[in-house]
Structure 1
Amino acid sequence: MAGLPAKLQNMVKEVDQQIAPRLAEIDEQVLYNQQRVLDLYREHHVAEEDLVGSTGYGTDDIGRDKLESIFADYFKTDDALIRPQLATGTHAISTGLFACLRPGDTLYYMTGTPYDTIQEVIGIAGDNPGTMKDFGIDFDTTELLPNGKVDYDGVAAKLRANDHIKVVAIQRSCGYATRASFTVAEIKEMIAFVRQILPNVIIFVDNCYGEFSETEEPTFYGADLMAGSFFKNAGAGFVKSGSFLVGRQDLIDACGARLMAPGIGKAEGATYAYMRDYFEGFFMAPHTTGDAIKGAIFEAALLEKMGLDVSPKWDEPRTDIVQKVIFGKPEPMIKFCGAIQHHSALNAFVDPIPSHMDGYEDKVIMASGSFIEGSTIELSCDGPLREPYCLYIQGGLAYAHIKVAVTHAVAETFFAEEQ
């Protein structure tokens, strides 16, 4: 890469050698996941006519129905709900939770207080109409232990004490916390633990950022309902609108009724011109997620060499596409974020400015030169302007772009006088 200080160029070469075995492991994971997707496309006879989409009411959308069957098979669930009308991951989560809960029920998060936008859905942050609190749905949680792990003693006590717990929720990714994201193995343990105490409770997983990051998914181990976003892993940068839910048949039916209307449910919801994006995006998702994870490994190794606190470390297990970097103070965080923006394909001339965003309590700094607005499978970074000034780097459609952008961001943030 031209124009970089010699010291930084040598550091990049060292990082390349250091992480090579780990990148080879990711290649094997991508190969396994790609084979599974390909087999399902062949098994379900995906054809060109499935890419057409529907208009109006969206009834008898053959391609949509086929894609939902593929999703259900991939995630080993009864059914799936895929609609462009599910605007975001938060919308899919909200739809899933409202579908399951009724006044007097309790939503219980065993992985601590959820991230900002879900707090607003619940009604424990912000001052918004239509929250769960407005509908008489209660919320409870057990905060994580200081090491970021589940407090199983505290969880057991809450599950045994509250007869109104209807849904136990698990948040896979870290959100705007500094804890590690939970691996599928850890979520498997959580599900088994809950089942021992409340065998019939609904277990819901917020899987955003997680699809294809491992060779297994939480639904393989008994999660009843799970939400994900096409702006993240499963869309691979192709999908222009939509999110999804997968899970138990009765719960997916309830989600369809919540999203559309009772009596209509899954039967409607036009897909317009999105079906080609959905099929192509899900097909490319193993590869694109793999490149994003490779980029995160590179980020972790290089930024740790710069003396920053990173999580996960470059050689630690990966369960999502998020790389946390703690800057400790706002100035370098803002500067690094700006440099990522300046090395984006779109809006490279823009300087990110910390500002208030809908759904968040603190000012947020965000870099996103994505082709699809809000897409976090494309390279972006963001974080709240609050201690410990942690920046969350996500995604990247191509490992080469991630490497170029992050290396130049390091140069502009820490080697400015040498350039």
Structure 2
Amino acid sequence: MRRRGSSRAAAPSLGLRGAAPGATPSFSLPRRLVSARFTKLQALSCAPPAQLARPFVPEVEAAADSLHSEFRAVDNLVAHNTTRVLRAFQNARVGSHVSQQPCRRGGREALDKVFAEIVGAESAIVRSQFFSGTHAITCALFAFLRPGDEVTLAVAGAPYDTLEEVIGIRNPFGNGSLRDFGVEYRQVHLAEDGSLDWDALSGSLRPQTKCALIQRSCGYSWRRSLSVAEIERAIRMIKMQNPDCLVMVDNCYGNLWKQWSLLRRKMTVGDWFFSSQGADLIAGSLIKNPGGTIAPCGGYVAGRKRWVEAAAARLSAPGLGLDCGSTPGGVMRAFFQGLFLAPQMVGEAVKGSLLIAEVMSSRGFKVQPAPRVPRHDTVQAVQLGDRERLLAFCEAVQRSGPVGSFIKPVAGSTAGYASEVIFAHGTFIDGSTSELSCDGPLRDPFAVFCQGGTHWTQWALVLGEVLNSI
């Protein structure tokens, strides 16, 4: 009679090894069965693409396969940038006691220190109280300028739409614009081919020109975004004409890609100093590159300590310095973590831009930047030519997002913009352009401006929907 609970009698058929009474039996499949199952699993893992579901349409898949070397180059730069960011976190001794402090001074100081080291600045202010990149840039400009001064858009023609009212190009009086305070404005137009007009810039400054504003990204203009080398050359040209002229760089969409020499240069290991040829301030938004797709709000100003403090006074009030303003603990943690993740997220956005350019140019659309050329920010523009295609492109992007995929984007008037604008952003952070998104003004040449994405495969999936829609 078999003892109750014994598994010895079943062992021959089930491949079980005998166990002492009360002990847990050990299970062992027959060697031939193990070998057969392993072979089958190995075959599945190494199965050719024909046996697996293809996630991308053939046109997009072929484009992605052709970009292998470009993607590898992006990964190498991401590794370099991640090393720099990691070193800044370690040097600032960031710990959980700092990154999760809700309102305490220590968390703000550590975040400012990390950010300043990453961008190569003497000082920085990173705050949730900056409503947007436009707000941060405005604080920087008001830090520099006083009634009777002149601001010159030095190298990139007209500024981004939202800065037009800040400067006073549109609605100049009664809303607190720079022009409302008596600050004059001029701009250096682009050359006929859309590049920088170096001849015009070489003689553009006047003795009363207090500030030169350089917009790194293309904005809603059909031009290349500026490279670090071009910005450096422009700054040298400005300082040669007027060494006292302050330089402000709108660095939106350019963070954590190629930027290290905008503010200062490295002379020897550990020896950093502000260069007379560097920008005095840079500013931008945290829901773009430096927020790493998880910062829910905020912006930054970085550069010379004197001017960072002046920008902080514009954000709060004179005399309050950098020590005021509460930040919820969850937001502070998101700032630190997003900044650490930013190099990787920026790299994936750049890969996405390379893929967009490759696919859309193969369909005959004009793209800016061109396929496979070096990228200087995360924006990829596609000239669609008419209103219907622009709307269809944005609708396809919205349908392909994780949030609000059931929503149909509608063009309309938006605060700060001169034209109707359509936005497609199925993003977790409202308005985030470090997440996959696109937008464009409904005006000639009806270009859509694409940016963001936490992995290039997101754009690969979206492009399949786009190609079926336009």
Output the TM-score relative to the length of structure 2. 0.83
Could you tell me whether the CA contact under 8 Å between 1:339 and 1:409 is conserved in 2?
yes
Tell me how far apart the structure 2 counterparts of residues 126 and 31 of structure 1 sit (CA, whole Å): 45
How much has 1:149 moved relative to structure 2?
2.0
Could you tell me whether the CA contact under 8 Å between 1:379 and 1:395 is conserved in 2?
yes
Tell me how far apart the structure 1 counterparts of residues 428 and 102 of structure 2 sit (CA, whole Å): 24
How much has 1:330 moved relative to structure 2?
1.0
The reply on whether 1:173 has 2:229 as its aligned counterpart is no
Q: Which has the higher contact order (CA 8 A, sep 6+)?
A: 1
Listed as ranges, the matches of 1:268-347 within 5 Å are: 268-273=324-329, 274-347=331-404
Structure 1 equivalent of residue 192 of structure 2: 146
Tell me how far apart the structure 2 counterparts of residues 374 and 232 of structure 1 sit (CA, whole Å): 9
The reply on whether 1:186 has 2:234 as its aligned counterpart is no
198, 201, 212: which is aligned to 2:256?
Answer: 212
169, 172, 176: which is aligned to 1:124?
Answer: 169
Tell me how far apart the structure 1 counterparts of residues 101 and 71 of structure 2 sit (CA, whole Å): 37
Size of the alignment, in residue pairs? 403
Listed as ranges, the matches of 1:9-408 within 5 Å are: 9-55=57-103, 61-110=105-154, 111-126=156-171, 129-159=175-205, 162-214=206-258, 216-220=260-264, 222-273=278-329, 274-408=331-465
Q: Secondary structure at the match of 2:204?
A: helix
Tell me how far apart the structure 2 counterparts of residues 21 and 52 of structure 1 sit (CA, whole Å): 40
Q: Structure 2: 5+ residue runs without aligned partners?
A: 1-48, 265-276
Could you tell me whether the CA contact under 8 Å between 1:29 and 1:215 is conserved in 2?
no
Of residues 166-175 and 140-149 in structure 1, the stretch that sits farther from structure 2 once superposed is 140-149
Could you tell me whether the CA contact under 8 Å between 1:353 and 1:365 is conserved in 2?
yes
Tell me how far apart the structure 2 counterparts of residues 407 and 313 of structure 1 sit (CA, whole Å): 20
Q: After superposition, what is the alpha-carbon deviation per residue over 1:126-172, rounded to whole angstroms, capped at 9, x for unaligned? A: 3661111111111111111012222222223221xx22111011000
Tell me how far apart the structure 2 counterparts of residues 205 and 291 of structure 1 sit (CA, whole Å): 24
Q: Secondary structure at the match of 1:264?
A: coil
Q: Secondary structure at the match of 2:439?
A: strand
How much has 1:115 moved relative to structure 2?
1.2
Tell me how far apart the structure 1 counterparts of residues 418 and 117 of structure 2 sit (CA, whole Å): 38
Identity of aligned residues (%): 36
After TM superposition, which residue ranges in structure 1, 4 or more long, deviate above 3 angstroms? none
Tell me how far apart the structure 2 counterparts of residues 16 and 405 of structure 1 sit (CA, whole Å): 13
Could you tell me whether the CA contact under 8 Å between 1:34 and 1:286 is conserved in 2?
yes
Tell me how far apart the structure 2 counterparts of residues 262 and 328 of structure 1 sit (CA, whole Å): 49
Could you tell me whether the CA contact under 8 Å between 1:211 and 1:217 is conserved in 2?
no
Q: After superposition, what is the alpha-carbon deviation per residue over 1:307-341, rounded to whole angstroms, capped at 9, x for unaligned? A: 11111122111011100000111111110110000
Structure 2 equivalent of residue 417 of structure 1: none
How much has 1:217 moved relative to structure 2?
4.8
Whichever of the two has the greater Rg, that structure is: 2
Tell me how far apart the structure 2 counterparts of residues 406 and 92 of structure 1 sit (CA, whole Å): 33
Of residues 72-81 and 169-178 in structure 1, the stretch that sits farther from structure 2 once superposed is 72-81
Residues 126/396 of structure 1: CA separation in 2 closer, same or farther (3 Å cut): farther
Could you tell me whether the CA contact under 8 Å between 1:259 and 1:265 is conserved in 2?
no
How much has 1:10 moved relative to structure 2?
2.8
Tell me how far apart the structure 2 counterparts of residues 13 and 44 of structure 1 sit (CA, whole Å): 43
Q: Secondary structure at the match of 1:13?
A: helix
Could you tell me whether the CA contact under 8 Å between 1:19 and 1:314 is conserved in 2?
no
Tell me how far apart the structure 2 counterparts of residues 179 and 206 of structure 1 sit (CA, whole Å): 16
Could you tell me whether the CA contact under 8 Å between 1:54 and 1:61 is conserved in 2?
no
How much has 1:213 moved relative to structure 2?
2.1
Output the TM-score relative to the length of structure 1. 0.93
Could you tell me whether the CA contact under 8 Å between 1:126 and 1:361 is conserved in 2?
no
**Partner amino acid, structure 2, of 1:152:** W
Tell me how far apart the structure 2 counterparts of residues 219 and 403 of structure 1 sit (CA, whole Å): 35
Could you tell me whether the CA contact under 8 Å between 2:60 and 2:460 is conserved in 1?
no
**Partner amino acid, structure 2, of 1:216:** W
